């Protein structure tokens, strides 16, 4: 069977462009509208996407003036979407820094059961002091420490998901024996960050573990991905960078003793689509015209660790910015943005325009053919196993992608034309169901 694209729909209220909510068509209450998300999920399913995805962080940003703020809690929203869809995978972001393994492992197992094996977890360590201060900490934990905690969190979660063997329930009504206690394996974990004694209180789900996704591209992030991730979301600005990242991550996965085919790399793209190139560019300009630059300047200053007033709108970035090593949160995104500005000699205004669309992801204006060409080129030249589709405006941008780009991808044999029989999310991504570590003796992904 020829290799097929994996498509993930990254859903975010009125769209990924920060000014999208200002368009006449946009619902400023979309972020709390179940109907809005049901419509998007069904559109993605019409486009035979593998999955849809919700980003998240447990904090409210410092201003609600600029753009829609806050979001329904992702696992809650995805549970509601599970009942409104049949085939599509459901990937929620959840933090290893601000959850306990027992509760979170149980919630993902519950979603996996309710959705018939369609749950995925985008594992994040959560940058930023705002989040830390909502959970009893005064400052953000150091980057390396967050990743050390994440690794232990994953080890505990795998133990919890394996704490019931698949055939624990014997249901012998005549003998009055419901389950076989010998097939329950309490983690009895005592580690640096967590002590978790008992077995999970929900049976092993259809997928064994939810699909494990990761999205940080720092050194720590890549090391973590090679060990635990089965799909990786990444922001890449050029084909060459994407190819390097792809090759590096596949090599690291093999070096970790895993099959590199069992880690799928999905760069994000923000496709601004028009029926002609001119129409696409006009659409892009319309969005840029709605950006409020004061907000953008202040946000960029925060990202670059600069005080208010440090940046000049029509000048380039100043010299002497700190190196990635000095940054404790979102390291790889920091480097990407600084390199983008330097490489293309962008003014602050231009940089804000570029970031406004996709916060560092590849923003691309063109016709459906041009979008499909880019996807095919990256896919065939070793830069991607699929894409994280980030429509600049929702729902219209997803409608356009599904109605006009998906048919081209299907005609080229790159994308399935229908789902066929029900499959788990792992099966859609070509991944095995993990064996139970208590039967294999090996607590590992493969």
Two structure tokens written together for 327 = 């940054």
Nearer to its own copies, 203 or 382 (CB): 203
Residues 9-28 that bind its own copies (CB under 8 A): 19, 21-24, 26, 28
Taking the complex as a whole, the smallest distance from the CB of residue 357 to its own copies amounts, in Å, to 17
* Three-state SS at 205: strand
198-209 burial, b at 16+ Cβ within 10 Å, e below that, comes to ebbebbbbbbbb
Contact 168, 183 (CB under 8 A): yes
Helix 293-303, helix 331-344: angle, nearest 10: 120
111 binds its own copies (CB under 8 A): yes
Nearer to its own copies, 83 or 323 (CB): 83
197 binds its own copies (CB under 8 A): yes
Taking the complex as a whole, the smallest distance from the CB of residue 24 to its own copies amounts, in Å, to 7
Binding mask 52-91 for its own copies (x = CB under 8 A): -----xxxx--xxxxxxxxxxx-xxx-xx-xxx-------
229-248 burial, b at 16+ Cβ within 10 Å, e below that, comes to bbbbbbbbbebebbbebbee
Taking the complex as a whole, the smallest distance from the CB of residue 436 to its own copies amounts, in Å, to 16
d(CA 86, CA 43): 12
Q: Which of 10, 49, 53, 102 binds its own copies (CB under 8 A)?
A: 102
DSSP-assigned beta bridge partners for residue 389: 9, 269
| Interstrand relation of 119-124 and 51-54 (parallel, antiparallel or unpaired) | unpaired
192 binds its own copies (CB under 8 A): no
Q: Please work out the total of residues on this chain that contact its own copies, with binding judged by CB under 8 A.
A: 75
Q: What is the largest CA-CA distance in the chain?
A: 80
d(CA 17, CA 35): 21
d(CA 183, CA 185): 6
167 binds its own copies (CB under 8 A): no
Nearer to its own copies, 100 or 323 (CB): 100
Q: Which of 139, 144, 177, 312 binds its own copies (CB under 8 A)?
A: 177
202 binds its own copies (CB under 8 A): yes
Q: Which of 247, 254, 292, 340 binds its own copies (CB under 8 A)?
A: 292
DSSP state of 20: G
Nearer to its own copies, 84 or 239 (CB): 84
Q: Which stretch binds its own copies (CB under 8 A): 93-101, 255-263, 359-367, 378-386?
A: 93-101
Nearer to its own copies, 59 or 423 (CB): 59
Contact 119, 210 (CB under 8 A): yes
Q: Which stretch binds its own copies (CB under 8 A): 4-12, 111-119, 377-385, 391-399?
A: 111-119
Name the strand (E) or helix (H) holding 386: strand 386-389
d(CA 267, CA 234): 5
Cβ count near 134 (within 10 Å): 13
382 binds its own copies (CB under 8 A): no
290 binds its own copies (CB under 8 A): yes
281 binds its own copies (CB under 8 A): no
Taking the complex as a whole, the smallest distance from the CB of residue 396 to its own copies amounts, in Å, to 16
Q: Which of 3, 86, 133, 343 binds its own copies (CB under 8 A)?
A: 133
Total count of residues recorded for the chain? 446
């Amino acid at each position: 069977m020829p290799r097929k694209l994996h498509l993930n729909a990254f859903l975010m209220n009125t769209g990924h462009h920060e000014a999208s909510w200002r368009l006449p068509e946009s619902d400023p209450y979309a972020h709390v509208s179940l109907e809005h998300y049901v419509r998007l999920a069904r559109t993605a399913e019409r486009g035979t996407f593998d999955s849809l995805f919700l980003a998240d962080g447990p904090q409210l940003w410092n201003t609600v003036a600029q753009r829609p703020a806050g979001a329904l809690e992702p696992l809650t929203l995805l549970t509601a979407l599970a009942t409104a869809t049949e085939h599509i995978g459901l990937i929620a972001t959840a933090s290893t820094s601000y959850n306990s393994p027992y509760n979170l492992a149980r919630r993902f197992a519950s979603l996996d059961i309710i959705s018939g094996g369609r749950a995925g977890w985008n594992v994040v360590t959560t940058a930023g002091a705002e989040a830390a201060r909502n959970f009893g900490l005064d400052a953000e934990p150091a980057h390396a420490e967050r990743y050390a905690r994440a690794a232990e969190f994953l080890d505990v979660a795998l133990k919890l998901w394996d704490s019931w063997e698949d055939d624990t329930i014997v249901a012998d009504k005549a003998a009055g024996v419901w389950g076989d206690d010998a097939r329950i394996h309490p983690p009895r974990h005592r580690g640096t960050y967590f002590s978790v004694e008992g077995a999970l209180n929900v049976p092993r789900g259809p997928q064994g573990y939810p699909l494990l996704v990761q999205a940080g591209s720092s050194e720590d992030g890549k090391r973590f991905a090679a060990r635990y991730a089965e799909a990786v979301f990444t922001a890449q600005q050029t084909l060459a960078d994407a190819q390097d990242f792809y090759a590096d991550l596949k090599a690291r996965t093999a070096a970790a003793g895993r099959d590199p085919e069992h880690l799928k790399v999905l760069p994000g793209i923000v496709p601004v689509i028009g029926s002609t190139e001119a129409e696409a560019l006009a659409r892009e300009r319309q969005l840029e015209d709605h950006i409020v630059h004061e907000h953008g300047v202040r946000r960029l200053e925060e990202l670059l660790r600069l005080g208010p007033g440090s940046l000049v709108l029509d000048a380039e970035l100043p010299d002497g910015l700190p190196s990635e090593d000095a940054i404790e949160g979102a390291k790889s995104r920091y480097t990407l943005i600084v390199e983008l500005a330097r490489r293309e000699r962008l003014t602050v205004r231009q940089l804000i325009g570029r970031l406004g669309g996709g916060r560092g992801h590849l923003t691309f204006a063109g016709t459906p053919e041009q979008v499909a060409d880019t996807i095919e080129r990256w896919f065939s030249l070793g830069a991607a196993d699929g894409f994280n589709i980030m429509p600049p405006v929702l729902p219209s941008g997803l409608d356009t992608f599904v109605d006009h780009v998906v048919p081209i991808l299907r005609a080229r044999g790159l994308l399935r034309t229908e789902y066929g029989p029900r499959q788990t999310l792992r099966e859609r991504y070509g991944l095995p169901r993990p064996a139970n570590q208590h039967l294999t003796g090996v607590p590992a992904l493969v």
